[in-house]
Amino acid sequence: MSIYLDYTADTPPDERVLYEYMKVAREQFANPNSSHSAGAAAKKIIDVSLEKTAGLLGVLPDELILTSGASEANNLAVKGAARANRRRGRHMVSTFLEHSSVSGALTYLQEQGWEIDLVSILPDGQIDLEHLKSLIRSDTVLCAVCAVDSELGTVQPVSEISRIVSGFENCRLHVDMTQAVGKIPVDLSGVHTASLAPHKFYGLKGSGLLYKAKGTVIEPLIHGGASTTIYRSGTPDTAAAAAMSAALELTFGEYEERFERVSGLNRRLREHLAGNSRVMINSPDDAVPHILNISVRGIKGEDMRRLLDDKGVCVSVKSACSVPNTPSRPVMAMTHDRKRALSSWRISLSHLTTDEELNSFMEILDDIIENN
Binding residues vs ligand PLP (CB under 6 A): 9, 69-71, 74, 99, 101, 146, 150, 176, 178-179, 197, 199, 208, 319-320
Find the shortest distance in angstroms from Cβ 98 to ligand PLP.
7
Distance of alpha carbon 41 from alpha carbon 104, whole angstroms: 38
The smaller minimum CB distance to ligand PLP, of residues 40 and 320, is found at 320
C-beta of 53 vs 179, nearer to ligand PLP: 179
> Closer to ligand PLP at the Cβ: 9 or 60?
9
Task: Say which amino acid occupies 342.
Answer: L
C-beta of 66: minimal distance to ligand PLP in Å? 13
Active site residue 314: no
Q: Are 272 and 265 in contact (CB under 8 A)?
A: no
How far is CA 213 from each of CA 56, 71, 81, 188, 201, rounded to the nearest angstrom?
Answer: 15, 19, 13, 9, 23
Nearer to ligand PLP by Cβ, of 40 and 321: the residue is: 321
In this structure, how many other beta carbons lie within 10 angstroms of the beta carbon of residue 144?
A: 25
CB of 348 to ligand PLP, least distance (A): 10
Alpha-carbon gap, residue 183 to 61, rounded angstroms: 23
| Shortest reach from residue 183's CB to ligand PLP, in Å | 11
Sign of CA dihedral 313, 318, 321, 327: negative
CB of 116 to ligand PLP, least distance (A): 18
User: Coil, helix or strand for 88?
Assistant: coil
Q: Which is nearer to ligand PLP, 314 or 364 (CB)?
A: 314
Cβ closer to ligand PLP: 49 or 101? 101
Identify the active-site residue in 143, 146, 171, 321. Answer: 321
The burial class, CB within 10 Å (0-12 / 13-18 / 19+), for 29 is exposed
Strands (E), the chain: 3-4, 64-67, 91-95, 115-119, 140-146, 172-176, 193-196, 208-212, 279-281, 291-296, 313-314, 344-348
Shortest Cβ 67–ligand PLP spacing (Å): 9
Burial per residue of 245-283, b for 16 or more beta-carbon CB atoms within 10 angstroms, e otherwise = bbbbbbbbeebeebbebbeebbeebbebbeebeebbebb
Residues marked active site are found at 321
